[in-house]
């Protein structure tokens, strides 16, 4: 198993679908406080696709997932610098 520097936290919030082995939804660099969020897809908490063939529903789910990922480290969209 790979080791990671102590200034990094790898998170898979319970509010997001279970990720594949070795994949983290959120990585926090604690020294300097930089947060990276993995690309999100339209999966609900159960890992099911939301709104098959419905672009609007899937887009809303992606943004809900981003919101939950940010909340897992105490942030919201006002803290986003780039996408």
pLDDT digits (tens, 9 = 90+) for 18-34: 876 777 889 998 888 88
- Give the global pTM: 0.74
Bridge partners, 26 (sequence order): 11, 37
pLDDT of the residue at 8: 87
Q: CA 26: distance to chain centroid? A: 5
Does domain 8-76 sit in CATH 3.10.450.50? Answer: no
- What percent of the chain has a predicted confidence (pLDDT) above 70? 93
Going by pLDDT thresholds of 50, 70 and 90, the confidence category of residue 4 is low
Question: C-alpha distances in angstroms, 71 versus 14, 16, 20, 76?
Answer: 11, 11, 21, 6
């Amino acid at each position: 198993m790979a080791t990671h520097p102590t200034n990094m936290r790898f998170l898979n919030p319970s509010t997001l679908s279970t990720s594949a082995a070795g994949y983290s939804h959120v990585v926090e660099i604690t020294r300097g406080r930089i947060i990276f969020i993995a690309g999100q897809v339209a999966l609900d908490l159960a890992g099911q696709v939301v709104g098959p063939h419905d672009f609007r529903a899937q887009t809303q789910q992606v943004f809900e997932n981003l919101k939950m990922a940010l909340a897992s480290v105490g942030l919201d969209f006002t803290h986003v610098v780039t996408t």
